Amino acid sequence: MIRLNLNQNQRDASRKDSMFRRHPILVVFGLLLLGMLAAVAVFVFTFDLNTYRERLEHELSRALQTSVTSSDARLTLHQGIALDFRQIRLGDEESNLTASAEHLFLQLDLLPLLRRRISIAAAELMQPHIVVRALPQVESAPAATRWTQEFQIRRLKIRDGRLTWHGAQEQEAPIAFQDIDLDLEGLTSGRSLQFHLSAALMQKERAAALRLSGNLTPAAGLADWQHWEIKAKIDVEDLAATQLPIAPFGPDRDWAVSGRGSVNLEILGKAASGLHLDARLRGDGLQLVRAEHILAVQGAGLRAVWRHQEADWWLTLQQVKLNQWRLEGPLEIAGGQQPLMFQGQVSAPPLAAEEILPWVSAALPDFAPQTQNLKVTKGTLHLKKLSLSGEPPSDPRNWLAEEGPIKDFDLEITEADLDLAQGKIRAATTRLNFAQNRLEVGAGELLWEGVPLRFSGYITAPREPEAQVFLEIESSVDATHLIDLIPAAPAQLKAQGPLSLRLEITGNPQTPTFSLKADLASTDLSYASQLSKRAGLAAHLSADGRWQAPRLIIDEAQGQLGPLRFSLTGEFEPGADRRYDLHLNLTQIELNDLGELSPPVKQAKLGGKITGTLSLEGGAGQLRRREAEFTLSDGRASFGGVVGDLNQAQGRILVSGTELRIPQMSARLGESAMQLRARIPNLSEPRLQIHLEGRDLRPQDLIFPGEGGRFVSVAGGLIIDGQEVVFDSISAETAGGTLAVVSGAVTNFNRPQVNLKILAEYGNVDEILEFFRSPAKQEPPVAREGRIRVRIEVEAARGQFHNLDFVDGRAVISYHNRVLDVYPLRADLAPGYYVGRVVWSGGQDGQAPRLRVSGSVLEGDAEALHRSQTQLRGLISGKLRGAFYLEGAGNNFWPSARGGLNIEVREGTLYRFPVLSKIFSLLNVSQIFTFRLPDMSREGMPFNTLSANLVLRDGRLNTEDLLIDSNAMNLSLVGEVNLVEDTIDAVIGLKPLRTVDRIVTKIPIAGWLLAGEEEALVTVHFRVQGPRSDPGVTAVPITSLSEKVFGIFRRVLGLPGKMVTDFERIFDAETNNAAPTSAP
């Protein structure tokens, strides 16, 4: 280097010869300086340091307290005159600190060197590699080592160095630094030490840049590091997250980190009086992961003062930042040999609650299960004050204990929104104040699923066994909204209007007591058509109980819903099993008063008094036990007119499990006394089974609309469910002798459909029809009008209809809208057969009831039919065939009846009766006829046929073609019978059928004469008038008959145009002039 400078000077001198002439003194001085430098250079290169190497290694080993070796040492020019130790090594394989370097340059002071004495001004390590292993802890700091006067180094440089740090655990990856450049100025004791460091921290992906600068002023005693004064700045850029100690509570295997960050740290002061720390962290995709929480770190900061005296230390936190959050101190943390202590007060500006909760859950794993189903979406937390004093507890749950470090705090919560498993909380606002071991919950409010809640209270000694709590919660909520919040609430349950709630919780938090009050007076409440509570009707609930883990015990509850009052006790476990055991007592109530609450009760006109108890036990959604006993007295009910009203009911109602039983109950159905027992086998599928017995029952008390007749006895079963009433083989006996078994069902209670089947051993049809006939002028029951439909199939082994005995009778009885229709109606008359129809329609709109009867008889016994209907000896016998249709007023049938009858009797006998006897007396047949007629008083007159068409109108029975055809004579009748007045007005035509010579010789030619091969024919006529029981009978000439009547006789009897017109004169003449003769 010196040679190069000399050559350069020579060239400059050759170029500038004029300079020597101008400045000769300067040139001479320069030449002398160059000569001196050349002499020093020759001295350096020829100076052999190996003579002093052992001494130098000894001094370095003593100063560094480790072995120092080098390959050789020599003087060299390196930024001046320097000692060059080559291949230097510090320590050995067993040392915790080893280092190696290609060169260690020790720069020498020039003047001491000219005196051939070494004085080191600076040291420089070139490409050193320093290896540090975990150093064992020492009880006390080693004594400071002073350099000898000649080895006091003022400056130290390291260029292109490397550092490898091995942790205490062999499996831990070493920390490596490369490209280390270090400058230290002022290493002499008592002077300020300036330092500058730059290095690259090696990482998997890319290296982090480290920069360190500042100054350090050691204490007078180097071992007294606590009084060293430091001012330093450390910058680390692009540091991997795994190299950052950022787990909130120290290293933890549960924490995972990712991303990168940059750290800036400023240090100022002395450890003894206070070392000021100002640290900042900037995150680049930096994240913490714990307990399934991913926490992003955008930045963090710390301002604190750290002090150390002897073996104790104190850290005073002035400000801590994390992301946008800031915690203001001061808070002092003391440690070392003294117990870890907290002392101070912190505060924080408003924080976003939704951002801080994940940090709390991650930092406190024991708290995480409580927040697993908690999601904070909005809100502000303002920590106004938090005072700490004392040791941190080993159990994080004891921070608020009396001996815990937290002495007081003031936390304001504003507009917090939380999503819980139990529902959503919105706009929660309150203030928590903890002081003197008492936590105050300031007047707060929130919305739970839209339900407004107001609350306040306190807890004394919150973490102590003797803690006491008082919490008051009030709400006024729209009942419609509250019903919507009830899980699985029945769709038929409706509510409207305000509902007030007040809940007090007091006592020890482990076993608190509660008092609940609810006011439903202003609430409209309804359940389908069963319950209807209107606003203004008194309704409230009050309950007192306590929590005794794991059960909620209801010591006493009182409730009122209008006239209904009850009390309740029991317990409930809100866990997964949700076990409950409840006991309800129903205060005696008049059922009639329940009409205010229940339309069906009002409609059914329920009455009587009922009281009882109910016990329920279950869990896990299952009802395990249900026991109840109710007592009913003077019970009353209306069945909407389907049957008679129930009254005077007395009995017990028992419930066991799913079964309901009524072991014995006496009651009256209408005015009919009954005894019954009943059961519902399964209350989840209500189906009421009733067995009833009754005597002397009125038909209108059952399903029949009429009031005629009586039931002597009724016994059997009924099955009632929500859709139908089933008649299960009910045996019945009527006063008229009917013995029957009834089965069938009543369906559709709104519009009852009655379908029955009656199997009768004996049936009195007239009596059964009376069951359906309402009394005269009785208005139809409104409840039944147009609603009830009845269809009864009747089968009778034997019976009677209108005094007519029959066997194997069958009929279908239908009833609807006051119309009774018996069709088809069939019966075996033995002999003969009857088929007919009976229709009775009740009067509507002021009209009288109507009765329509129709039918036909085949091969019936004419005499028996007559006798059964008239209760008199029959007029005729023979085989009857006929059909009829009659219609009239139901309550005044015969006077108003209209219709017609067609009858035919074959091979019968006409017995003597008053009218016919009088006719025969008038004729004096023994004088007119020569043939013998049968004795009417004995065997009667046989005939071949009797036929007639009869018309009934307004109580008058008319005929124009009644004809009796016999071998002895033909008889025809034209006229009417007044059934109302019981009179007869008719003309009878009689035609003998034998030759009478005597008549032929005596009757004038004006009479009617047939001779020759044909028989002679004589026709006579009689008028019958008067009461039917004894009418008057007179012979009438043919000329007195009207053309209409004569035409009828001529048509019916087959008469020619010439007739005998005056039988009376002929009979008189014969009486006077002729002697009696015997018939030929």
Res 6 pLDDT > 60: no
Paired tokens of 954? 């307004």
15 and 155 belong to one structural domain: no
Rounded CA separation 380/362 (Å) = 20
Look at residue 1052 in the predicted model and tell me its pLDDT. 54
Distances, alpha carbon 166 to alpha carbons 135, 203, 828, in Å: 10, 15, 123
Strands (E), 750-849: 753-764, 789-801, 804-816, 819-828, 833-841
Q: Has residue 794 been placed in a domain?
A: no
Res 14 pLDDT > 60: no
Q: Among positive and negative, which fits the CA dihedral 649, 654, 660, 663? A: negative
Rounded CA separation 58/205 (Å) = 43
Rounded CA separation 269/106 (Å) = 32
CA angle 1060, 1064, 1069 (to 5 degrees): 105
Asked whether 442 and 433 are in contact (CB, 8 A), the reply is yes
Q: What is the pLDDT of residues 502-520, one digit of tens each?
A: 999 999 988 999 999 999 9
898 and 932 belong to one structural domain: yes
Look at residue 179 in the predicted model and tell me its pLDDT. 92
Res 3 pLDDT > 60: no
**Residue 122: which pLDDT band, with cuts at 50, 70 and 90?**
confident
Q: How far apart are the first and last CA of the chain?
A: 203
Question: Pick the residue with more confidence: 929 or 121?
Answer: 121
14 and 101 belong to one structural domain: no
Res 930 pLDDT > 50: no
36 and 63 belong to one structural domain: no
**Residue 883: which pLDDT band, with cuts at 50, 70 and 90?**
very high
**Residue 1057: which pLDDT band, with cuts at 50, 70 and 90?**
very low
Mean pLDDT of 519-526: 90
Q: Has residue 71 been placed in a domain?
A: yes
Q: Has residue 469 been placed in a domain?
A: no
Rounded CA separation 300/317 (Å) = 14
Rounded CA separation 811/820 (Å) = 12
Question: Pick the residue with more confidence: 425 or 930?
Answer: 425
Cβ atoms within 10 Å, residue 898 = 15
Contacts for 779 with CB less than 8 Å, ≥ 6 apart: none
7 and 102 belong to one structural domain: no
Rounded CA separation 1080/1070 (Å) = 18
Structure letter (DSSP) for residue 225: G
Look at residue 958 in the predicted model and tell me its pLDDT. 92
Look at residue 26 in the predicted model and tell me its pLDDT. 61
Mean pLDDT of 344-350: 93
3-state secondary structure of 739: strand
162 and 39 belong to one structural domain: no
Look at residue 197 in the predicted model and tell me its pLDDT. 93
Res 835 pLDDT > 70: yes
DSSP letter string over 235-269?
EEEEEEGGGS---BTB--TT-EEEEEEEEEEEEEE
Look at residue 430 in the predicted model and tell me its pLDDT. 95
- Kindly report the pTM of this predicted structure: 0.59
Asked whether 791 and 755 are in contact (CB, 8 A), the reply is yes
Question: Pick the residue with more confidence: 16 or 240?
Answer: 240
Res 112 pLDDT > 60: yes
Res 775 pLDDT > 70: no
Distances, alpha carbon 454 to alpha carbons 375, 473, 500, 521, 544, in Å: 22, 6, 12, 21, 20
Rg of the chain over Cα atoms, rounded to whole angstroms, equals 66
**Residue 583: which pLDDT band, with cuts at 50, 70 and 90?**
very high
Mean pLDDT of 527-548: 87
Question: Pick the residue with more confidence: 804 or 988?
Answer: 988
Res 541 pLDDT > 50: yes
3-state secondary structure of 1018: coil
Q: Indicate the helix (H) or strand (E) that contains 727.
A: strand 724-734
126 and 172 belong to one structural domain: yes
Q: Has residue 344 been placed in a domain?
A: no
895 and 932 belong to one structural domain: yes
Look at residue 269 in the predicted model and tell me its pLDDT. 92
**Residue 968: which pLDDT band, with cuts at 50, 70 and 90?**
confident
Distances, alpha carbon 674 to alpha carbons 665, 669, 687, 693, in Å: 9, 7, 21, 6
Contacts for 64 with CB less than 8 Å, ≥ 6 apart: 90
Domain coverage including residue 125: 50-132+150-188
Q: What is the pLDDT of residues 644-683, one digit of tens each?
A: 778 899 999 898 888 889 999 999 888 888 898 988 888 7
Look at residue 735 in the predicted model and tell me its pLDDT. 85
Distances, alpha carbon 267 to alpha carbons 221, 276, 579, 631, in Å: 21, 6, 63, 89
Look at residue 932 in the predicted model and tell me its pLDDT. 46
**Residue 366: which pLDDT band, with cuts at 50, 70 and 90?**
low
CB half-sphere exposure, 542, CA atoms < 13 A: 2
Q: How far is CA 712 from the centre of its chain?
A: 52
Rounded CA separation 569/582 (Å) = 6
Query: Of 366-380, 746-760, 813-827, which range is least confident?
Result: 366-380
Closest listed residue to residue 59, CA positions, set 97, 85, 41, 24: 85
Average pLDDT over all residues of the chain: 79
Query: Of 312-316, 645-649, 945-949, 983-987, which range is least confident?
Result: 645-649
Closest listed residue to residue 55, CA positions, set 132, 117, 131: 117
Rounded CA separation 555/230 (Å) = 71
1042 and 916 belong to one structural domain: yes
940 and 958 belong to one structural domain: yes
Contacts for 372 with CB less than 8 Å, ≥ 6 apart: none
Task: Domain count for the chain, please give it.
Answer: 3
3-state secondary structure of 909: strand
- Which percentage of the chain shows pLDDT scores above 70? 76
Cβ atoms within 10 Å, residue 940 = 20
3-state SS string for 106-165: EEECHHHHHCCCCCEEEEEEECCEEEECCCCCCCCCCCCCCCCHHHCCCEEEEEEEEEEE
Res 211 pLDDT > 70: yes
Mean pLDDT of 482-498: 76
Rounded CA separation 847/673 (Å) = 35
58 and 181 belong to one structural domain: yes
Rounded CA separation 780/787 (Å) = 12
Res 296 pLDDT > 90: no
Q: What is the pLDDT of residues 585-644, one digit of tens each?
A: 999 988 888 888 887 777 767 789 999 999 988 877 677 888 999 999 998 877 666 677
Q: Has residue 655 been placed in a domain?
A: no
**Residue 345: which pLDDT band, with cuts at 50, 70 and 90?**
very high
Look at residue 241 in the predicted model and tell me its pLDDT. 83
Rounded CA separation 145/303 (Å) = 35
928 and 1004 belong to one structural domain: yes
Look at residue 440 in the predicted model and tell me its pLDDT. 94
Rounded CA separation 305/672 (Å) = 102
Q: What is the pLDDT of residues 698-756, one digit of tens each?
A: 888 877 777 777 888 999 888 877 678 888 888 988 888 889 898 988 888 777 888 98
Q: What is the pLDDT of residues 686-698, one digit of tens each?
A: 788 889 898 988 8
Look at residue 994 in the predicted model and tell me its pLDDT. 44
Q: Has residue 1068 been placed in a domain?
A: yes
Cβ atoms within 10 Å, residue 829 = 22
Rounded CA separation 254/240 (Å) = 18
Look at residue 255 in the predicted model and tell me its pLDDT. 75
Paired tokens of 609? 């008094």
Q: Has residue 1060 been placed in a domain?
A: yes
Q: Has residue 907 been placed in a domain?
A: yes
Closest listed residue to residue 540, CA positions, set 526, 557, 514, 520: 520
Query: Of 69-73, 86-90, 196-200, 1076-1080, which range is least confident?
Result: 1076-1080
